[in-house]
Each structure stands twice: as C-alpha cells, then as structure tokens.
Amino acid sequence: MGEKTVSVNRKASHDYHILRTVEAGLSLLGTEIKSIRDGHVSIREAYVRPQNGEMWLVGAHIAHYPPAGRDNHDATRSRRLLLHRREVRELEHEIQAAGTTLVPLRLYLKGGKAKLEIALARGKKSYDKREAIAKRDAQRQMQRALRRRS
C-alpha cells in the first residue's frame, strides 16, 4: 500500500530553510482519522512544540466529521506526535541550541495510518525570500524560452 498525501504546507518552504526531516505518527481520535481520509485538514498555520518529553502538533485544523454528530472532536486541539524518545531528545536539543524550529511539511496516509513529515528548519530573512522568488522566476523564463525554440 502506497502513500497518499492529504495536506501540504507550501508556506513552510517559502518561510524556512529546511535542515532535515523526520516522519512522525499522530495520536488521533476516530472522527479525526475519518476526516483526514476525506481530506478535510489544514496544517498551514500549525507548528510542533516540545512539552514534558513529548512533541505536540499545535494549530492544525482537522474539520469535524459530519456523521459523528455530537460526538465530534475539537477541530484545533493539540495532537501528540508519536516519536521515539531518542528522536524527541535530539530534536529538543537541536531546537534549544541552534535557534531553529519544528515545522510540519506534509500530512499523509501510509499503510492506513496518518503520518506527519516534520522539518527542523531555520527562518529565512526577507532578502532570502526575494532571492528565492527571483531564482524561480528566472527558471520559469528559461523553461518558456526553451519551449518556444522547440
């Protein structure tokens, strides 16, 4: 069984330099996983925070699952990430030492389970963002010129 990407945080690659990525599981309620399978999720404003030796996904929006009725979940509650203790310690240490942060990149289904790809990232300065936009525009212009020639 392959992977099915449910949600991508495109804003993250624009705002941050991605240093490394880690795959984490999510501790979810039944109505949450059903809503994720339907694709009703947004991780654009989410971030990952260490707390009491665990990692938590904060600010992710998983919409209510309509058939659940009154037994639904809170759409923006904090959700625990499933990582090994060693990984949690390493990430906590890297966050404290280097002035970096943990950002969710994408949420996907793998083998019937929801997984979150999180990145250790350092914020970009505004001139870095302008430079990236200029490079992307130049690349597009080159591709257009090549298409016109052939």
Q: What is the mean pLDDT of residues 96-122?
A: 91
Residue 21 pLDDT: 94
Q: What is the mean pLDDT of residues 55-73?
A: 88
> Residue 92: which pLDDT band, with cuts at 50, 70 and 90?
very high
CB under 8 Å to 19, separation ≥6 — which residues? Answer: 100, 119, 120, 121, 122
CB under 8 Å to 94, separation ≥6 — which residues? Answer: 100, 120
pLDDT over 70 percentage in the chain: 99
Residue 1 pLDDT: 61
What is the domain partition of the chain in residue ranges?
3-124
Task: Using alpha carbons, select from 4, 83, 5, 76 the residue that is nearest to residue 45.
Answer: 76
> Residue 74: which pLDDT band, with cuts at 50, 70 and 90?
confident
**pTM greater than 0.85:** no
pLDDT over 90 percentage in the chain: 53
Q: Is the pLDDT of residue 17 over 70?
A: yes
CATH fold for domain 3-124:
Small Protein B; Chain: A; (2.40.280)
